[in-house]
């Protein structure tokens, strides 16, 4: 194994190279010391120029770290990522037409790493159909300079699919916890494991250079073979950063890494207000044993409500980065989870999601429209990107979109969304159950679009709901008032009335076998 400095790693990048970067969100397994060295090198020498950066998950602290180190005019030619929300500097370059900017589904990019590792043609999937990622709409572009088609619409066995093209990688910057003297990499102290192995395999297959940032070097043979996440045969060099934090906000949490079990009931109670109302109404969709995903924003409050109501251990919360069980973190720590039951690599988590494994997805909306489309990826002069939203929303059996009905005086229910991140018509064609939950009204996706089915106890249909929208929804003939408990201070009593899990046909075998005994 070769040990080098971060500056030496940065010097490996040449003009026009493609850099593959591991990590997630707010510093979770992000090789920040390596990215910082690239930014410093460019400021000092003007090199490298016009590189392509590819990272499935957005990277950054919401300021200048992570991908933000690369947000310098001339350094980047193209960025392909799940989201820019963590790196506003990258979003600014895209808005200023300084880079070719693409935001693609996080799960598709994650799974594409495996396809690249195996030398396959690319990723064939239905994820992204009829959203802005579909070439018939936008092809995932977030800047006019982004001219190349990174996604193609194809016909396979009489059905429509999207084909995500692979990338030719020159250098990969990855991160682990420790490296032994043979270059074997462990990730036992990381909050996520992601697709580090696939990235290393893909880069090696293409003849590229794999550099891994770690916190320490340990003797050869001291890492248990089952703890090796990236074998040394795939690693060209290691950079040691003894000050490496687990995330940008947490130096070391044993609960994040799974080494310590904490009381999940300690999740703080949400203060009174719209977020609490929306989260409580969403929680009413839970049932015994429900497997769920909580998106960012207002929907993270589902975990707080479930803890307060004493039902957090009776459901299973997951996140797309690979955590199963426990209590998903929120804010800039999103991606981690407190005391998860299992941590799987991100591509496999998305396999589960894409295959319909989620019973419920609780996602936030920036805006929704008269067709039932939802936008979270570009709005109000901001480029955000979809992150895992498209995979999650397309794969879940039931999707509950949460948000306030207005943003100040501006309606969030609009005639037509600026960018389609979720297609209402496509969801209807597949029989998906969809709700739109706000603090004063609840809608369901019907044949004609969102249908008003519930209003707040003291709300007026016209003045407080329809008058605050950019379109007139159909009003259900069975319109009812929202549960008054949503607006009260005390518990709602969800623990006593949590519905049983709907029957699964496959489980009939167990019932039959037990009856036979």
SS (H, E, C) 32-57: HHHHHHHHHHHHHHCCCCCEEEEECC
CA distances to 104, 166, 339, 448 from 476, in Å:
36, 47, 42, 11
CB 23 within 8 A of CB 57: yes
Helices (H), 342-467: 346-354, 389-395, 424-429
User: What is the chain's alpha carbon radius of gyration, rounded to the nearest angstrom?
Assistant: 23
Structure tokens at 113: 């790493």
CB 419 within 8 A of CB 377: yes
Long-range Cβ contacts of 479-485 (<8 Å, 24+ apart): 479/452, 479/453, 479/454, 479/455, 480/453, 480/454, 481/454, 481/455, 481/456, 481/457, 482/281, 482/441, 482/442, 482/454, 482/455, 482/456, 482/457, 483/281, 483/284, 484/457, 485/280
b/e sequence 385-424, b meaning 16+ C-beta within 10 Å: bbbbbbbbbbbbbbbbbbbbbeeeeebbbbeebbbbbbbb
Structure tokens at 281: 């109404």
**Residue length, the chain?**
517
Q: Provide CB contacts within 8 A for 371, sequence distance 6+.
A: 416, 424, 425, 449
Q: Active site includes 40?
A: no
Cα(first)–Cα(last) distance of the chain, in Å? 59
Closest by alpha carbon to 81, among 96, 101, 98? 101
Active-site option among 115, 195, 320, 451: 320
Closest by alpha carbon to 386, among 183, 45, 109? 109
d(CA 318, CA 340): 9
d(CA 99, CA 111): 25
d(CA 171, CA 184): 18
* Beta strands 382-383 and 337-338, pairing class: unpaired
d(CA 277, CA 117): 45
b/e sequence 347-382, b meaning 16+ C-beta within 10 Å: bebbbbbbeebbbbbbbbbbbbbbbbbbbbbbbeee
Active-site amino acid positions: 320
């Amino acid at each position: 194994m070769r040990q080098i400095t971060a500056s030496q790693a940065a010097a490996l990048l040449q003009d026009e190279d493609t850099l593959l970067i591991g990590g997630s969100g707010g510093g979770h397994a992000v090789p920040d010391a390596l990215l910082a060295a690239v930014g410093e090198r460019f400021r000092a020498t003007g090199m490298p120029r016009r590189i392509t950066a590819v990272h499935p998950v957005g990277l950054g602290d919401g300021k200048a770290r992570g991908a933000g180190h690369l947000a310098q005019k001339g350094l980047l030619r193209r960025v392909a990522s799940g989201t820019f929300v963590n790196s506003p500097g990258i979003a600014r370059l895209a808005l200023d037409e300084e880079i070719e900017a693409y935001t693609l589904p996080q799960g598709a990019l994650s799974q594409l790493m495996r396809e690249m590792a195996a030398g396959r043609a690319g990723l064939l999937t239905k994820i992204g159909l009829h959203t802005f990622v579909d070439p018939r709409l936008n092809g995932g572009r977030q800047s006019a300079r982004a001219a190349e088609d990174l996604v193609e619409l194809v016909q396979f066995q009489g059905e429509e699919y999207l084909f995500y093209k692979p990338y030719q990688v020159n250098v990969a910057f990855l991160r682990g916890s420790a490296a032994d003297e043979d270059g074997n990499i462990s990730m036992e102290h990381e909050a996520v494991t992601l697709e580090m192995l696939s990235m290393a395999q893909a880069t090696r297959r293409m003849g590229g250079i794999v550099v891994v940032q770690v916190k320490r070097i340990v003797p050869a043979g001291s890492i248990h073979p089952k703890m090796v996440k990236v074998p040394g045969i795939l690693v060209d060099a290691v950079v040691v950063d003894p000050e490496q934090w687990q995330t940008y906000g947490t130096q070391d949490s044993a609960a994040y890494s799974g080494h310590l079990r904490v009381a999940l009931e300690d999740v703080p109670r949400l203060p009174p207000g719209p977020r609490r109302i929306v989260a409580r109404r969403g929680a009413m969709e839970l049932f015994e044993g429900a497997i769920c995903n909580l998106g960012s924003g207002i929907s993270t409050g589902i975990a707080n409500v479930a803890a307060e109501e004493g039902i957090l251990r009776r459901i299973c919360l997951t996140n797309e980065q690979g955590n199963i069980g426990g209590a998903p973190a929120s804010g800039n720590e999103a991606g981690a989870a407190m005391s998860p039951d299992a941590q799987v690599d991100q591509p496999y988590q998305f396999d589960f999601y894409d295959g319909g494994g989620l019973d419920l997805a609780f996602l936030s909306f920036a805006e929704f429209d008269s067709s039932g489309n939802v936008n979270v990826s570009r709005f109000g002069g901001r480029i955000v990107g979809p992150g895992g939203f498209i995979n999650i929303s397309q794969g879940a059996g039931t999707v509950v979109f949460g948000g306030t009905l207005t943003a100040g005086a501006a309606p969030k229910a609009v005639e037509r969304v600026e960018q389609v991140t979720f297609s209402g018509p496509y969801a209807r064609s597949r029989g998906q159950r969809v709700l739109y939950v706000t603090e004063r009204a609840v809608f369901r996706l019907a044949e004609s679009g969102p249908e008003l089915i519930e209003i707040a106890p003291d709300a007026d249909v016209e003045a407080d709901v329809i008058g605050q929208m950019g379109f007139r929804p159909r009003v259900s003939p069975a319109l009812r008032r929202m549960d008054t408990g949503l607006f009260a201070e005390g518990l709602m009593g969800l623990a006593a009335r949590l519905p049983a899990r709907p029957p699964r046909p496959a489980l009939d075998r167990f019932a039959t076998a037990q009856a036979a005994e």
